[in-house]
Amino acid sequence: MLFCERLNLLEFRFGTLSSGLRYLLPSEAQWECACIKGQPDRSTYTMSDVAWSRENSESQTHPVGMLLPNLFGIHDMFGNVREICLDICTESLNHQGSGV
């Protein structure tokens, strides 16, 4: 949250963020929509094409954009680092591997 606040201040100060817009963390529902609903048909790619995992990460994080984007043009929605969302997920969501 602090990063988003500072980024907003800098962008406003330099005039690079339009009035009324601001950076913020997504809600869990927004993240899930961008992640899951943005994925192409699985017959056209393998998980290693769009996600970092034990099999292809060499146990390291990687720069954003090294794998294919989803249908929304967003890279690295699976794997690489833990997702952080604005709202707090329930215990049941955490056990389902929501990554939050």
Domain parsing of the chain, residue ranges: 25-95
Lowest mean pLDDT among 6-10, 26-30, 60-64, 85-89: 85-89
pLDDT band at 88 (very low <50, low <70, confident <90, very high): low
Percent of the chain with pLDDT over 90: 18
Q: Where are the alpha helices (DSSP H) in the chain?
A: 2-14, 28-32, 47-50, 54-57, 91-95
How far is C-alpha 17 from the chain's CA centre? Answer: 21
Measured CA to CA, the distance from residue 10 to residue 19 in angstroms comes to: 13
CB 36, CB 83: distance < 8 Å: no
How confident is residue 100, by pLDDT bands cut at 50, 70 and 90?
very low
The tens digit of pLDDT for each residue in 16-60 reads 988 889 999 888 888 888 887 777 676 777 888 888 888 888 988
